[in-house]
C-alpha cells in the first residue's frame, strides 16, 4: 500500500477537500499511473451529492473517471504498457471477464463490474477511489492507449464523455447522410457534435442556451435550435434518423420524440435523477423508439480513442487547478462550462 493525495467529499453537502488515500501495491497485472489530468463529469456531481437513488453514495467519495496520465510502474505480467507510456482510464477498473457481457466486449454491463469510484474495492476493502488524485493502480485490461498526437487536457474527457457519445452513435448507424440531433451542449453534448460531424452526419444541436449558438456551429453543428422556441422545434418535426439526449435534468422528452422520422430512435445518455414522462403516442406514431446507453466496452473505448487520434478530436476544456473544483461544480449546475473542466493534477502537489 502507498499513500496518495486526493480530493474527497465526506457528505452530500460537504465541499470537496484535500485528503490522503491508500492505493494497493501492484499485482502482476497492474499498471500504476501518475494522473496528469482528470475531467469533471456531471456524473461526479450527481454522485458527490447523492442524487441517484438507485446508486447510493458511500462517503468519503473521491470522484473522477476521466483520467489521463503517465505509466510509472507495471506488474511482471503486464504486456501492453511500460513505464513512461501515456495511459487513460475511464469509468471501469475491473470486471469478471467470464460472463456473457464481458465475453461480448460489453464490460460496462458485467454484473460484477467495479466502477472507478464508489464501487466495492475487491483488493483493499471499502470502496474504490477515482481520479481526483495523484496516482492510481488499475488492471491493464482496463487501461487504454492514448494517441500521441492529442493534447492531454482535452484527452481526459474522452474517457467518459467521448465513449458515452461515440458508442450510441455507432450502435444506431450514424454515417454520412443521416440527420442527427444532439440535445444539450455540455460535456457529453459537445463531444457528440464533434463525433457525429466526423462520422459525416448532418448535425442539429438543441440547446437552452442561446449564447452557445456560435460555438455549436464551430464545433461541427450544421444547424442550431433554441429548444425553448416551439416554432423552431416545429420546423424539424418528423425528420431525424437519430437523436442523442445528453440532458442532466428533467425535461420534456416528447418534444424530441416528435422530431423523429419513421423508425427513428432517441437514445438517452443523460441521467436525470427524476423520471421522464413519455406519451404513448410519441412512440406509436412512426414506430419510434426510445432507448438508453451506458459508456462503452473497453475495445470500443480504444476504437474511439484511435478514431479521435485519426480525426484530431479532443474535448474543448477549461483547465482548472483542483482548488477550484467546488466552484466548477457550481458552474456545472448552471450549464456554465465550455465545454468540460479538466483538472490539472499538478495542482495537488501544493496541498
Q: Which residues bind ligand NAP (CB under 6 A)?
A: 41-43, 46, 160, 164, 184-189, 207-209, 212, 246-249, 251, 269-271, 293-295, 332, 335, 337
Residue 186 interacting entry, from Zn ion, ligand NAP, none, C-beta within 5 to 8 Å by type: ligand NAP
Torsion from C-alpha of 301, 183, 62, 57, nearest 10 degrees: -110
**Distance in Å, CB of 180 to ligand NAP, minimum:** 16
* 343 touches Zn ion by CB under 5 A: no
**Distance in Å, CB of 42 to Zn ion, minimum:** 7
Which is nearer to Zn ion, 147 or 296 (by Cβ)?
Answer: 296
Q: Helix 161-171 vs helix 187-198: angle between axes, to the nearest 10 degrees? A: 50
Cβ atoms within 10 Å, residue 92:
24
**Distance in Å, CB of 161 to Zn ion, minimum:** 7
**Distance in Å, CB of 182 to ligand NAP, minimum:** 9
Write down the H helix ranges in 21-136.
Answer: 42-48, 100-103
* 185 touches Zn ion by CB under 5 A: no
Which is nearer to ligand NAP, 21 or 169 (by Cβ)?
Answer: 169
**Distance in Å, CB of 12 to ligand NAP, minimum:** 16
Residue 16 interacting entry, from ligand NAP, Zn ion, none, C-beta within 5 to 8 Å by type: none
Residue among 4, 16, 158, 160 that touches Zn ion (CB under 5 A): 160
**Distance in Å, CB of 238 to ligand NAP, minimum:** 22
* 43 touches Zn ion by CB under 5 A: yes
Which is nearer to ligand NAP, 176 or 211 (by Cβ)?
Answer: 211
State which residue has the least CB distance to Zn ion.
41
CA distance linking residue 8 with residue 20, whole number of Å: 9
Terminal CA-CA length for the chain? 21
Give yes or no for a contact between 64 and 111, defined as CB atoms under 8 angstroms apart.
Answer: no
Residue 46 interacting entry, from ligand NAP, Zn ion, none, C-beta within 5 to 8 Å by type: ligand NAP
Which is nearer to ligand NAP, 74 or 159 (by Cβ)?
Answer: 159
Q: Which helix (H) or strand (E) holds 241?
A: strand 240-245
Residue among 41, 62, 260, 290 that touches Zn ion (CB under 5 A): 41
**Distance in Å, CB of 212 to ligand NAP, minimum:** 5
Residue 248 interacting entry, from ligand NAP, Zn ion, none, C-beta within 5 to 8 Å by type: ligand NAP
Question: Three cell numbers at 75?
Answer: 506488474
Residue 249's DSSP bridge partners are none
Which is nearer to ligand NAP, 74 or 253 (by Cβ)?
Answer: 253
Give yes or no for a contact between 232 and 226, defined as CB atoms under 8 angstroms apart.
Answer: yes
Q: How far is CA 19 from the centre of its chain?
A: 25
**Distance in Å, CB of 293 to ligand NAP, minimum:** 6
Instruction: Please tell me whether residue 108 adopts helix, strand or coil conformation.
Output: helix
CA distance linking residue 163 with residue 165, whole number of Å: 5
Question: Three cell numbers at 125?
Answer: 476493502
Give yes or no for a contact between 114 and 136, defined as CB atoms under 8 angstroms apart.
Answer: no
Give yes or no for a contact between 238 and 287, defined as CB atoms under 8 angstroms apart.
Answer: no
Phi, psi dihedrals of residue 218, rounded to the nearest 5°: -65, -35
Which is nearer to ligand NAP, 21 or 221 (by Cβ)?
Answer: 221
Give yes or no for a contact between 86 and 61, defined as CB atoms under 8 angstroms apart.
Answer: no
Give the footprint of Zn ion on this chain (CB under 5 A). 41, 43, 160
Amino acid at each position: 500500500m502507498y499513500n496518495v493525495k486526493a480530493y474527497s467529499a465526506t457528505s452530500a453537502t460537504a465541499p470537496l477537500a484535500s485528503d490522503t488515500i491508500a492505493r494497493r501495491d501492484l499485482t502482476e497485472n497492474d499498471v500504476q499511473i501518475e494522473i496528469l489530468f482528470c475531467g469533471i463529469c456531471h456524473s461526479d456531481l450527481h454522485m458527490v451529492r447523492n442524487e441517484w437513488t438507485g446508486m447510493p453514495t458511500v462517503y468519503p467519495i473521491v470522484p473522477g473517471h476521466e483520467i489521463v496520465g503517465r505509466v510509472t510502474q507495471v506488474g511482471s505480467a503486464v504486456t501492453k504498457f511500460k513505464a513512461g507510456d501515456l495511459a487513460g482510464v475511464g469509468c471501469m477498473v475491473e470486471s469478471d471477464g467470464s460472463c456473457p457481457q464481458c465475453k461480448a466486449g460489453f464490460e460496462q454491463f458485467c454484473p460484477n463490474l467495479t466502477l472507478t469510484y464508489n464501487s466495492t474495492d475487491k483488493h483493499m476493502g471499502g470502496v474504490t477511489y477515482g481520479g481526483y488524485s495523484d496516482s492510481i493502480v488499475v488492471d491493464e485490461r482496463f487501461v487504454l492507449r492514448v494517441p500521441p498526437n492529442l493534447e492531454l487536457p482535452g484527452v481526459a474527457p474522452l474517457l467518459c464523455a467521448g465513449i458515452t457519445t461515440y458508442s450510441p452513435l455507432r450502435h444506431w448507424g450514424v454515417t454520412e447522410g443521416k440527420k442527427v440531433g444532439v440535445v444539450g451542449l455540455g460535456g457529453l453534448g459537445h463531444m457528440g457534435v464533434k463525433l457525429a460531424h466526423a462520422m459525416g452526419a448532418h448535425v442539429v444541436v438543441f440547446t437552452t442556451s442561446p449564447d452557445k449558438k456560435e460555438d455549436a456551429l464551430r464545433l461541427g453543428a450544421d444547424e442550431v435550435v433554441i429548444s425553448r422556441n416551439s416554432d423552431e422545434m416545429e420546423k424539424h418535426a418528423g425528420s431525424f434518423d437519430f437523436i442523442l439526449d445528453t440532458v442532466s435534468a428533467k425535461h420534456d422528452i416528447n418534444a424530441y420524440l416528435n422530431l423523429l422520422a419513421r423508425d427513428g430512435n432517441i437514445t438517452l445518455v443523460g441521467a436525470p435523477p427524476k423520471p421522464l414522462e413519455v406519451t404513448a403516442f410519441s412512440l406509436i406514431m412512426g414506430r419510434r423508439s426510445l432507448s438508453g446507453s451506458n459508456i462503452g466496452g473497453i475495445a470500443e473505448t480504444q476504437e474511439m480513442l484511435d478514431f479521435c487520434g485519426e480525426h484530431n478530436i479532443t474535448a474543448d476544456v477549461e483547465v482548472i487547478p483542483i482548488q477550484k473544483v467546488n466552484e466548477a461544480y457550481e458552474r456545472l449546475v448552471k450549464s456554465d462550462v465550455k465545454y468540460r473542466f479538466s483538472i490539472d493534477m499538478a495542482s495537488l502537489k501544493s496541498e
